[in-house]
Structure 1
Amino acid sequence: MKSFSVLVLFLSLSVSAQIKTLPLWPEGKMPNYQKSDEKEEIDVNTISWISKVQQPTLEVYLPPQASANGQAVLVCPGGGYAGLAYDWEGTEIAKYLNSKGIAAGVLKYRLPGSASVKENFKAPLQDAQRGIRMLRANASDWNIDKEKVGVMGFSAGGHLASTLGTHFQNAFYSAIDDIDSEEIRPDFMILIYPVISTDPKITHQGSRDNLLGKNPTAALEKQFSNDLQVTENTPTTFILHTGDDQTVPVENSLRMYKALQENKVQTEMHIYPKGGHGFSLANGVYYLESWSERLTDWLRNLN
């Protein structure tokens, strides 16, 4: 019995050692920050919902070394740029990726409406750029290949992921340490029912307003319509959407696919006839739940 207890303790420690939460920014070095009385809020009901993020973090999930294939994914939960569906579109996704030998970092990113942010639209992208750099900076310790690091996002998190993949020419903050010498361009993008465009005809209005304000300039609106920012250097992409999505119209993904094809960027897209919005892994939702298998096949083919 004693040896069994020791074994259980050892296994528990081994599992817990595979998860670590790291601050994105050194103390006192967070860019685009202003002091406020705002407090971070976590609401745990049917899902874990985080709003008013004050301390952005990277929660790292690592598969056992024996099964690690070198790939890593920065996971950006959705929430309309008003909050983060942190477990539903974050930690649960990381666990799934781990089961396929893929390292994952769940990004708890600042939200543009926070009172602690100076320039609203810059904060999420600054955190995403820092997050992907942290994955690469720790590549040797975490069994990651620096050339196999991608980004994945859901809904508004899909907008953030596609922004990271189309706005990598320049960092949106000044370098503060050695981590910032790492590349910010993702090697691949995974966009799940993503907000892509800020065009009022097809956008998710809440995400657009929260990120850019209700009356953005035409230049800013164009800058963050990410289908308009695609070039031949945009990373290879996997896109998933449903035809009956009433929250983020499928036209967002169709426009992104068209732009990627026109620029000869290798792209795979799956449009399911129904399933709505915000289904995450879609466990138990007829054959929609097989979408993760399509993603796994695609990721394996990248290798």
Structure 2
Amino acid sequence: MKCERIFLNDDKSVWFDTYLWDNSAELKPGYKRPAVLVCPGGGYKYSSDREAEPIALTFAAAGYHAFVLRYSVDLAAVMPAPLKDAAKAMAYIKDHADEWYLDSRYVFVSGFSAGGHLAAALSVFWDNEEMFPEYKDNFDRIRPAGMILGYPVIDLKSTARRLDIGVEGYPDYDKINFGQVHPNVNPADIFVRENNKTYVNFEIAMNAYMFGGYPTDEQIYQYSLQNHVTDTTPPAFIWHGGEDGLIYPRNSFMFAEALREHNIPCELHVFGKGGHGLGLANEVTENNPWEVNEQCAMWPKLAADWIKSILRQQ
């Protein structure tokens, strides 16, 4: 396997890592494999390791080339910067298809939580000349073959406004252990004080990183992706834990409905149990006991079968 880090900007703050199968004489020599570009989540504040290499290795174990994109986050995450990063990575991958024995027709994009938002954004905007004028001569360079989304952010008004982070009472804001407070947002708008507890308005917290502060109604509409599905949007595989109290399952329902309205194939799994940020939902990505969920852990097999169904249509 060829593992390499490809930097996408001069200051080396954006890159993707490769997990490339070798062209072996014992494994269908010359075979051009499909590929998956993985976008980890992290609320556009950071990029989660739990949704990075473990996901890529899972896709690699299924026989696909895999890549992990570390896109612009934190104060650099103002849209459309992360979306431009995803497009640049997709174009680079397709441009090196022959060298890497990769089938450029079948480069899928996968993302989780905020990374799911990014993957879905590339999928709905790939042929939008206003968004991507630099690719107007060949939009296929950045077109995903399909999207694989785990508990994605889709509607920027459908995230938790009363997130319980276990803070009792009303401590000073700088004493609260919550690392997603944008400097251009008043902490009083992020921390909600009710019933002798302090909650987080995650909608404000995440959107602040996407827009550099308080977004306008126009910006919210522009990046609420159910509004921008077209007849050229690629097919989707979506999964969500039914108990997700951070990024509500209705995000996935809304996106699936928008896809169906445009006759875009969509496979949607909303499992009865399971919260947010599960990754593989097994012991490999476990950081807390509740992140292991046998139901949700079925998603990699389901996603691999879905990819095979796309390939059979060629």
Class of the TM-score when normalised by the shorter of the 2 chains: 0.7 to 0.9
Q: Corresponding residue for 1:80? A: 43
Paired residue secondary structure (1:247):
coil
Assess if the C-alpha contact under 8 Å between 1:192 and 1:241 holds in 2.
yes
Give CA deviations for 1:116-155 in whole Å, capped at 9, x if unaligned. x7xx212101100101011101101111111101110000
What letter corresponds to residue 129 of structure 2 in structure 1? N
Task: Kindly state the Cα deviation for residue 64 of structure 1 after the two structures are TM-superposed.
Answer: 3.5
Q: Corresponding residue for 2:67? A: 105
Task: Kindly state the Cα deviation for residue 73 of structure 1 after the two structures are TM-superposed.
Answer: 1.2
Q: How far apart, CA to CA, are the structure 2 residues paired with 1:276 and 1:201? A: 13
Q: How far apart, CA to CA, are the structure 2 residues paired with 1:158 and 1:181? A: 21
What letter corresponds to residue 111 of structure 1 in structure 2? V
Assess if the C-alpha contact under 8 Å between 1:60 and 1:106 holds in 2.
yes
Give CA deviations for 1:249-281 in whole Å, capped at 9, x if unaligned. 001001000000111000000010111011111
Assess if the C-alpha contact under 8 Å between 1:112 and 1:124 holds in 2.
no
Paired residue secondary structure (1:166):
helix
Assess if the C-alpha contact under 8 Å between 2:242 and 2:272 holds in 1.
yes
Aligned counterpart in structure 2 of residue 170 of structure 1, from 104, 129, 136: 129
Q: How far apart, CA to CA, are the structure 2 residues paired with 1:219 and 1:242? A: 30
Q: How far apart, CA to CA, are the structure 2 residues paired with 1:255 and 1:247? A: 16
Give CA deviations for 1:141-173 in whole Å, capped at 9, x if unaligned. 111111101110000000001110111123756
Task: Kindly state the Cα deviation for residue 286 of structure 1 after the two structures are TM-superposed.
Answer: 2.2
Paired residue secondary structure (2:298):
helix
Write the mapping of 1:286-297 to structure 2, written as runs, cut at 5 A: 286-297=294-305
Q: 1:56 to 1:174 in 2, by over 3 A?
A: farther
What letter corresponds to residue 291 of structure 1 in structure 2? W
Assess if the C-alpha contact under 8 Å between 1:23 and 1:56 holds in 2.
yes
Is structure 2 residue 307 aligned with structure 1 residue 299?
A: yes
Task: Kindly state the Cα deviation for residue 219 of structure 1 after the two structures are TM-superposed.
Answer: 1.6
Q: How far apart, CA to CA, are the structure 1 residues paired with 2:133 and 2:6? A: 20
Assess if the C-alpha contact under 8 Å between 1:64 and 1:101 holds in 2.
no
Write the mapping of 1:106-255 to structure 2, written as runs, cut at 5 A: 106-111=68-73, 113-114=75-76, 120-168=78-126, 169-170=128-129, 172=131, 175=134, 183-199=141-157, 205=203, 206-255=205-254
Q: 1:201 to 1:244 in 2, by over 3 A?
A: closer
Q: 1:173 to 1:266 in 2, by over 3 A?
A: closer
Task: Kindly state the Cα deviation for residue 175 of structure 1 after the two structures are TM-superposed.
Answer: 4.7
What letter corresponds to residue 304 of structure 2 in structure 1? T
Q: Corresponding residue for 2:17? A: 59
Displaced runs of 4 or more, over 6 A? none
Q: Corresponding residue for 1:19? A: 3
Where in structure 2 are there 5+ consecutive unaligned residues? 162-201, 284-292
Assess if the C-alpha contact under 8 Å between 2:72 and 2:81 holds in 1.
yes
Identity among equivalent positions (%) equals 33
Give the length in aligned residue pairs: 254
Q: How far apart, CA to CA, are the structure 1 residues paired with 2:59 and 2:249? A: 25
Paired residue secondary structure (2:75):
coil
Aligned counterpart in structure 1 of residue 53 of structure 2, from 70, 74, 91: 91
Task: Kindly state the Cα deviation for residue 199 of structure 1 after the two structures are TM-superposed.
Answer: 2.0
When normalised by structure 2's length, the TM-score is 0.75
Assess if the C-alpha contact under 8 Å between 1:60 and 1:104 holds in 2.
yes
Assess if the C-alpha contact under 8 Å between 2:159 and 2:248 holds in 1.
no
Superposition RMSD in Å: 2.4
Q: 1:181 to 1:248 in 2, by over 3 A?
A: closer
